[in-house]
Structure 1
Amino acid sequence: MRTGAAAGRTGYFHEALCYGSDEELLAVVVPFLVGGVEANEPTFVALGERTGNLVRAALPPDTKVEFLSGGDVYARPTAAIRMYRQLLADLVADGATQIRIIGEVPPVGLGPTWDWWARYESAINHAYDDWPLWSMCAYDTRTSAPGVLADVAATHPCFAAVDGRHLPSVDYVAPETFLRETRPMPPDPMQTTPPLVDLLGPTAAQARAAVHQVGQGGLRDDEFDDFVVAVSETVTNGLRHGSPPVRFRLWAGAERIVATVSDAGTGPQDPYAGLLPSANGMPGGLGLWITHQSCNHVTYHRDDQGFTLRLTAGRPLGA
């Protein structure tokens, strides 16, 4: 049965914890975790090193909480969703009637790549709703930008307050609406220079060859190979499901590669495209899901010219 603030609820109970001091963080997190342990619920911490150590030191000795590496869990949004869905399914299969998790997006994710983490925070309201999960997502108001905090309010149905209350978010937006909103796509700094590759109507093979020609050696071999796969999937999607003309552009530096694929269409209709594999056969769903797992950042934009998807590999912007 469900316990604590999640008692009487079904599915996913998704809260934000916006705190202004370490003391405020611990005032909410420690009772949350101890309550889970006392109720014999699987209880997890997926915080960064600093905040994770604070919580570890504040917990009573021998509290049976499992600590996950926040940096590993939240390396990429799609990977986090895939990992958590498998974890939740396994725990429920073992008899869990509620699971508790406290996690946080790593600091680098709160910068220029925040847009895909905002999409993650919205999408998981649907992606985790098959399981009895109660999670808190921690955000430090001292270091989170106003735009980030606005998205937090729009993607979390509730706030966990320091005084023990659990308050509905008046700014919450259903994921099907939030994920369809047009978000700005500021130019990557590398895009201030002319692209090294600019192809109109390329085949996937031609795009792959262009990446090999100008990008080889700038990344680790595994990162480079993943990026080539992402480019191939994205160009193929544009040719199959977009509207001509499809345009592929590429910028490459010592530590990063940036590519854009644009077409004159409106982009994928599935609001969860990229974050979840398409469950209803919507066009391009699997290719975008693969792409989101193969890059360090994927973002997109719709305007009166069409749809543009931007892929980045190597050093994340802002790191």
Structure 2
Amino acid sequence: MTWLHPTGDWDGTGLAHEGFVFSSDAELVERVVPFVLEGFRRDEPVLVVAGERVRSLLAGQLGTDLGRLAVFAAAETWWRGGHGTLQAYDRDLRALRAEAPSWRLAAEPVWLAREDGREWSRFEAVANRCYDTMPYYSLCLHDAQRLPADVLAAVARTHPLTWDGAAPAPQPAYEDPACFLHRAQPAWTPRPEAAPVLPVTSPGQGRRALSVLLPAGRRARLGDVVLAAHELLVNALGAAPFAELSTWTDGDAFVVEVADAGPGLADATLGYVPPDPADGARGMWLAWSLADDAAVCTGPAGTTVRLFFRA
């Protein structure tokens, strides 16, 4: 294993984000063990968060060196939904930044094998933007025997680096985060002709309208719907003198749409980026986290956001 270059030319001053797909125990061990040992040689904190199988393999290979890991944890307990998981991850990264000049993480997002965990691919994409200056190497482990083909395709599209057998190399399928999110969000279809469209000039007006428009069978989500729409309306009314509020039902989802004729969003990924504790801007993050899904269409002619609330 000594001929491998586990982190290539990474100098520890910014994020390196590698998607490693393995098909056998031997492939996993040959990639991860040198990665861990290199971290020990460089006196970097090494964190491993993985599923039971991966942890067992690494424990057998590392022996007494297992105790040198800064973290050795079960990934199975970490899933809290996309926003909740990223928020906890963000908190841990900021704590590490305060303590260490650089560190490395080998993580296996086992929840990608679950239907409700596939949204994590969107957060993997956004990490390339919101953590690009964080000084750590993120080696993301993906088991080809467990994950569906579409999830593995998303791994390539959301990780700038891949393993070429000897060193990290640029991933040719990698996409800009905004481009990936645009493709990953619910398909954008025309608003139904029968959907009510209300001009709104204040968030309170929108809240009152939604309290009436929400169907009786969905009243359990009233708080989420009203608060999420309020945040969108605050943003929309900051960009234009009025907004349009519309609602309809699409299959099992209640859809809330807020549209404005402002200049468009400077960054369409904001709903997936944890708010900076220093500036307190959290509207889109909160709205996205309260909904079950979201989609955005933005440009010079304005912005339209749709939130989906399932029963």
Distance 1:243 1:123 in 2: 31
Q: Which runs of 5+ in 1 are unaligned?
A: none
What secondary structure sits across from 1:262 in the alignment? strand
Q: Deviations over 1:255-307 (max 9, x none)?
A: 8543222334563112442233677x99x963212212323322223489853
Asked if the contact 1:265–1:306 (Cα under 8 Å) also holds between the matched residues in 2, the reply is yes
Matched, 1:286 2:288: no
What secondary structure sits across from 2:282 in the alignment? helix
Question: Which shifted more, 83-92 or 202-211?
Answer: 202-211
* 1:238-253 matches, cutoff 5 A: 238-242=236-240, 246-251=244-249
TM-score by length of 2: 0.72
TM-score by length of 1: 0.70
Task: Specify whether residues 39 and 224 from structure 1 end up closer, same or farther in structure 2 by C-alpha distance, changes over 3 A only.
Answer: farther
Partner of 2:139: 136
Distance 2:108 2:117 in 1: 20
Among 267, 270, 274, the residue aligned to 1:270: 267
Please tell me the residue identity of whatever aligns with 1:132: P
Question: How much has 1:81 moved relative to structure 2?
Answer: 3.9
Task: Specify whether residues 23 and 205 from structure 1 end up closer, same or farther in structure 2 by C-alpha distance, changes over 3 A only.
Answer: farther
* 1:55-94 matches, cutoff 5 A: 55-58=54-57, 59-60=59-60, 61=63, 63-64=66-67, 65-69=71-75, 72-73=78-79, 75-77=81-83, 79-94=84-99
Asked if the contact 2:47–2:72 (Cα under 8 Å) also holds between the matched residues in 1, the reply is yes
Q: Deviations over 1:184-242 (max 9, x none)?
A: 63269xx99998x734113433433344443567476xx65334211111123223325
Please tell me the residue identity of whatever aligns with 2:229: V
Q: Which runs of 5+ in 2 are unaligned?
A: none
Asked if the contact 2:19–2:139 (Cα under 8 Å) also holds between the matched residues in 1, the reply is yes
Distance 1:304 1:109 in 2: 38
Distance 1:179 1:261 in 2: 22
Distance 1:141 1:130 in 2: 30
Asked if the contact 2:111–2:117 (Cα under 8 Å) also holds between the matched residues in 1, the reply is no
Matched, 1:10 2:13: yes
Matched, 1:185 2:186: yes
Asked if the contact 1:43–1:100 (Cα under 8 Å) also holds between the matched residues in 2, the reply is yes
Distance 1:39 1:310 in 2: 47
Distance 1:108 1:301 in 2: 29
Asked if the contact 2:21–2:142 (Cα under 8 Å) also holds between the matched residues in 1, the reply is yes
Partner of 2:45: 42
Q: Deviations over 1:81-109 (max 9, x none)?
A: 43333212222323353232313272377
Task: Specify whether residues 192 and 198 from structure 1 end up closer, same or farther in structure 2 by C-alpha distance, changes over 3 A only.
Answer: closer
Task: Specify whether residues 145 and 311 from structure 1 end up closer, same or farther in structure 2 by C-alpha distance, changes over 3 A only.
Answer: farther
What secondary structure sits across from 1:260 in the alignment? strand
RMSD: 4.3
Question: Which shifted more, 302-311 or 258-267?
Answer: 302-311
What secondary structure sits across from 2:137 in the alignment? strand
Please tell me the residue identity of whatever aligns with 1:276: V
Partner of 2:204: 205
Sequence identity (%): 25
Asked if the contact 2:247–2:254 (Cα under 8 Å) also holds between the matched residues in 1, the reply is no
Task: Specify whether residues 272 and 301 from structure 1 end up closer, same or farther in structure 2 by C-alpha distance, changes over 3 A only.
Answer: closer
